[in-house]
Structure formats: structure tokens, C-alpha cells
Amino acid sequence: MKQGLLQWSPCNHLRPSLSSSFLLRSPIRIARVAGRPPPPPPPAAAAVSAALEPPAGAEALTARERRQLRNQRRESRAAYNWREEVEERLIKKPKKRYASWTEELNLDTLAESGPEWWIVRVSRVRGQETADLIARSLIRNFPEVDFKVYAPAVQEKRKLKNGSYSVKARPLFPGCVFLRCILNKELHDFIRECDGVGGFVGSKVGNTKRQINKPRPVSEDDMEAIFRKAKEEQEKTDRAFEEEQVSEKLKSEKLDLDLHSSTDDSLESALKPKHKSRKSSSTVGGLSAKEKYKLLVPGSTVRVLSGTFAGFEGSLKKLNRKNKKATIGFALFGKESLVDLDVDEIVPEVA
């Protein structure tokens, strides 16, 4: 049993070794023990030569001294910068925002970013009605929540036949309603249950066990661009409506001038004395169709050649050249009566 034991003596434990004596003799250690400042580090060339030819006893350097030598070797290389390489690696490697995947599925974490703009999917046809429904429901059920509902649309004006104007909203982004609020799980689930809502625009998060569609906020720059576009479209629509109104006004003024000129011609023809003679009628009856159509103008006096009203004279009110129909006004029993006749049955009266 005694042969397997090793003798131990405190004298052997207190005996200094070669490495300790070397450390005591090193200039840095001597300066540190004496309380003097350590000597300046060697230049870069000396550091490179020291790295290539390590001095005797280099294996006994402390960890701090080895770290200093390693840093000097790194700084001696001009083309290589280890700090930039480490920074690039840290930039490429994204930091984990959530500690676990279950925490990422928690929608209450959306409230940490404060009030944001969110996109709600709605029906393309009833987008404005759904936006009003969301606003009323939030006011009734969440009176303490500050929110804004924005459905960008252009108000288009149209003039009806009866002279009134109709205003119709044309959505700029059909099927999308923008909501600004502090979103959490309770508010998210309530809005999803509203009629006509298809959910929020976002991205899928989670893993193969469970996945959800997590809403993604819209940046302030994008919302400013949307506001700017809506304003430009509204100004463009109003300008087009004003131009259309001006063109319609010019057309109506032109029609009024034509109507006044035609009435003046009809009055002049009515004031002229009528000379009934067979000679004049025979000459008119011998006119060609082209000359006859030239003489048949609204307000002119015509005579019926055949039919029920043969021999009667009246005033031409309307002429339809396609259907070859003419509306004639006869003075019967002191009252003017309108009758539709064929163009072949009438002939213009020439003085």
C-alpha cells in the first residue's frame, strides 16, 4: 500500500519554478511590481518579427499579454480590418425580436409600437358602407379608443337630365380601408367579426405547428403618398367636371341661336302674302327630290297633295329625312292640330 502513495512536502510546494522566475524577470512584470509605467510596445515591424520568431519562454506569457500581442499582429496588417469583418457579420445576422415563436404569435405585442396605420380587407362593392360600420361599432363598443377610419375615394359629380346633380364616390383602392389605432388582440378580433370584413393585410408567422396572419403596419411615408394621390385625383375630377359644364353651356347657347334664327325665318315666311296659282303649284310639282328637300325646312308652308287632308295648307313643324315623315300643323276650328304625313304627300308652297 505504501508503494502506491506519493510523498508530499510543503517545501516542494513553496519552491519557485522556472516559469515563475521568468515571469518575475519579464520587463512588464518588473515594471508592474516596481510601480513604474510599463515600457512602450514595440513597433509594427518588431511585432511582426516577434510573431515570426517567438522568444524563449513565450509559452509562459499571461492571457492579457497574449491578447495584446494578437491585437498588435492584427493591427499590423493594413489590408485586413477584423473589426469591420465582425461588424458585417453582426449586421448580416438579424437579431431575434422575440424569445420564442409562441411570443411572436401574441397579437398584444402590436400595441408596443403605438398608434399605426393598418389595412383592413373589405368588399370591393360595399367598401364605404363597411368603413362606416367599423367606425360606428368602434364608437359603440370601444369609446375610450382613439381611432381614424379612412377610405380614399374621389367624389364624381354628374348632371342629370332633370337639371339636378348627383355625387358618387369612386374608391381609389377598392377592397381596402385604412385604420389608425393602437391594435391589440381584443380589437383585432372584434374588427374581424364585423360584417363585410375579410381580415387584415399582413404576413404569416409561426411554424408548422401553428400559423396566423399577423397584421403589418403601413409606414407614414406611404400614407402621405396616399393622401397626396387622393387630393390630386379629386382636383383632376373637379377640373374635368368644370370643363364639361362649360362645353355644355356653349352647346346650349349655340342651339338657342339656331332656334331663334329658324323662328325668325318662319315668321318672315308666314307674313309673306300667299299667291295661289296653278302655275306655281305645277312648277313645284315638277321639282326634283333634291330641290324639294332643300325647300322643306321647319317653319315653311306646305300643301297636301293626297290623302285625307288633300288641298289643305299648313306649316312644317318637324322633318325626319330618315323615315321620310313630316309633322304638319293645320289651323282647324281656330286651334292648331299636328298631323304626321309622308313627305311624298306634301309639296312646299313657292310664292
CA angle, 40 as apex, 38 and 42 as ends, to 5°? Answer: 130
State residue 178's pLDDT score.
94
Cα–Cα distance between 277 and 310 in angstroms, integer? Answer: 16
Residues 115 and 214 in one domain: yes
State residue 8's pLDDT score.
52
State residue 273's pLDDT score.
52
**C-beta of residue 318 within 8 angstroms of C-beta of residue 331:** no
State residue 97's pLDDT score.
63
State residue 187's pLDDT score.
92
Which residues of the chain carry a pLDDT beneath 70? 1-59, 77-80, 92-102, 256, 258-290, 351
Residue at 252 is within a domain? no
Nearest to 147 by CA among 127, 118, 169: 118
State residue 14's pLDDT score.
44
State residue 282's pLDDT score.
39
Among left, alpha and beta (phi > 0; psi -120 to 50; other), residue 194 is: beta
* Distant-in-sequence, close-in-space partners of 108: CB < 8 Å, separation ≥ 6: 184, 185
Residues 176 and 140 in one domain: yes
Domain boundary among 73, 95, 117: 95
Residues 74 and 142 in one domain: no
State residue 141's pLDDT score.
92
State residue 94's pLDDT score.
60
The domain tally of the chain equals 3
Residue at 203 is within a domain? yes
Residue at 201 is within a domain? yes
Q: Report the Cα–Cα distance between both ends of the chain, in Å, rounded.
A: 163
Q: Which domain holds residue 157?
A: 101-235
Tally of CB atoms within 10 A around 130: 23
Q: Is 215 exposed, middle or buried (0-12, 13-18, 19+ CB in 10 A)?
A: buried
